[in-house]
A and B are shown apart, each in its own frame.
Chain A
Amino acid sequence: MEHAEGQQHPISIYFIVWGLLFVFSAASYAVDYYQLHGMTRWSLVLIFMVIKAAMITAYFMHMRWERLAMVLAILLPPLFIVVFMGLMTSEGHHTQSVRNLYFAQEKFVPEHP
């Protein structure tokens, strides 16, 4: 006989994760519903996002039970996106400062604000 077949875990794990995902989604919706602003809003949105993403990857996609060779091959490369993000943030700010210098005279007037 082969090794234990596939990923088999008690069904309660899926129900717990499912419930928690509902709770955190409701929490991130509440951030918008109660119109939080500034750093509170951004940090809460990011925290809830990371928790939800981690739970989906770890439990629903079974990453928590995979061998490290697989986990690192899949989870490390996306870190390059963070590097790219840093590059594009400074690029975006540069473009904006140039636009403010040359084009900002034409003021945008909303049709119905």
Chain B
Amino acid sequence: MAHSEATHAVGQLPGMKGFVADWASDQRAFKNVPWGKAMMWIFLLSDTFVFGCFLLSYMTVRTSTTVPWPNASEVFALSFGGQPIPLILIAIMTFVLISSSGTMAMAVRFGYLKNRRMTTLLLIVTAIFGATFVGMQAFEWTKLIVDEGVRPWGNPMGAAQFGSTFFMITGFHGFHVSIGVLFLLIVARKVWRGDFDHERKGFFTSRKGNYEIVETMGLYWHFVDLVWVFIFAFFYLW
């Protein structure tokens, strides 16, 4: 594609040769990538292992228990006056998170176009979607704890491990979303104030910021969405 050529500067080989040359060059291995972005990717890789281990422990307790596993489709069903609709809240949460990912991707794009207004707007919309997601999760937890009697050590529907893995996995994910919302609001404020246009120094690192920070923020946010894809498949649909 035409895009791939644009990211290779002069003197840098593409493809497999480029891979060997970059790692063998005894200098920075990740070319054309700002350090903040490379570090965010490495953090996300470590986070992948954290969530991977959580899902693996869930898989292990679910295969090893001799007690039937509660049916997620029924546990998470919600009725609006009539017949209960299976998993409806989780489906809405999924769509909300995907929408937030879409607005985030566009915020990154408008950031590189130096469109301050659109970037701020899209970041705030993303934050609102994120907060909505956390709010719906709080509702889901409340319903599960108060109405269904699910506890980390047991529940009336089946295997006790259902509660412990559910609260651990979705709790850790919800925590990531909450931190992401704060992160989004901080970046939105910086964009709106024009920090990245005037290269104003950050309050914490004293480094000059630029619009690459919006992309780094975006990577974190998309990762949260990515983790939800796996939680949705393995915990709710399996």
A and B physically associate: yes
Please give the residue numbers on chain A whose beta carbons come within 8 Å of chain B beta carbons, in ascending order: 3-9, 11, 14-15, 17-18, 21-22, 25, 28-29, 31-33, 35, 41-42, 45-46, 48-49, 52-53, 56-57, 59-62, 64-70, 72-74, 77-78, 81, 84-85, 88-89, 91-93, 95-96, 99-100, 103-104, 108, 110-112
Is B32 close to A, CB under 8 A?
yes
Q: Which residues of A contact B8 (CB under 8 A)?
A: 67
Is B68 close to A, CB under 8 A?
yes
Q: Which residues of A contact B12 (CB under 8 A)?
A: 67
Query: Other than the known A4-B7, A8-B112, A110-B68, what 4 A-B pairs have Cβ atoms closer than 8 Å?
Result: A88-B57, A95-B60, A108-B158, A111-B156
Give the residue name and chain of the B residue nearest to A81 (CB). Answer: B52
Classify the interface of chain B: helix, strand, loop or mixed: helix
A48 shortest CB reach to chain B, Å: 7
The CA-CA distance from A107 to B69 in the complex, in Å, is 14
Q: Which residues of A contact B41 (CB under 8 A)?
A: 70, 73-74
- Decide if A81 touches B95 in the complex (CB within 8 Å): no
Q: Which residues of A contact B95 (CB under 8 A)?
A: 22, 25
Determine which residue in A7, A31, A53, A66 has the highest number of CB atoms from chain B within 10 A of its CB, and name it: A7
Q: Which residues of B contact A96 (CB under 8 A)?
A: 63-66
Is B182 close to A, CB under 8 A?
no
Determine which residue in A61, A64, A88, A103 has the highest number of CB atoms from chain B within 10 A of its CB, and name it: A61
- Decide if A89 touches B108 in the complex (CB within 8 Å): no
Q: Which residues of B contact A14 (CB under 8 A)?
A: 102, 105-106, 109
Binary interface encoding of chain B residues 222-238 relative to chain A, with 1 for a CB under 8 A from any of its CBs, else 0: 11011001101100111
Q: A8-B109, A70-B38, A96-B66 are in contact. Are A35 and B73 (CB under 8 A)?
A: yes
- Decide if B233 touches A70 in the complex (CB within 8 Å): no
A43 shortest CB reach to chain B, Å: 12
Is B104 close to A, CB under 8 A?
yes
Q: Which residues of B contact A111 (CB under 8 A)?
A: 156
Please give the residue numbers on chain B whose beta carbons come within 8 Å of chain A beta carbons, in ascending order: 3-4, 6-9, 12, 14-16, 18-19, 22-23, 29-33, 38, 41-42, 44-45, 48-49, 52-53, 56-57, 59-68, 73, 86-87, 91, 94-95, 98-99, 101-102, 104-106, 108-109, 111-113, 156-158, 211-212, 215, 218-219, 222-223, 225-226, 229-230, 232-233, 236-238
9 residue pairs bridging A and B, Cβ less than 8 Å apart:
A8-B113, A14-B109, A45-B237, A49-B230, A49-B232, A67-B32, A81-B52, A95-B64, A108-B68
Q: Which residues of B contact A3 (CB under 8 A)?
A: 7, 9, 32
The CA-CA distance from A102 to B38 in the complex, in Å, is 51
The CA-CA distance from A7 to B216 in the complex, in Å, is 11
Q: Which residues of B contact A61 (CB under 8 A)?
A: 218-219, 222-223, 226
Q: 3 closest A-B pairs (Cβ-Cβ)?
A: A92-B63, A95-B64, A18-B102
B53 shortest CB reach to chain A, Å: 8
The CA-CA distance from A72 to B233 in the complex, in Å, is 25
Q: Which residues of A contact B158 (CB under 8 A)?
A: 108, 110
Q: Which residues of B contact A85 (CB under 8 A)?
A: 56, 59
The CA-CA distance from A70 to B86 in the complex, in Å, is 41
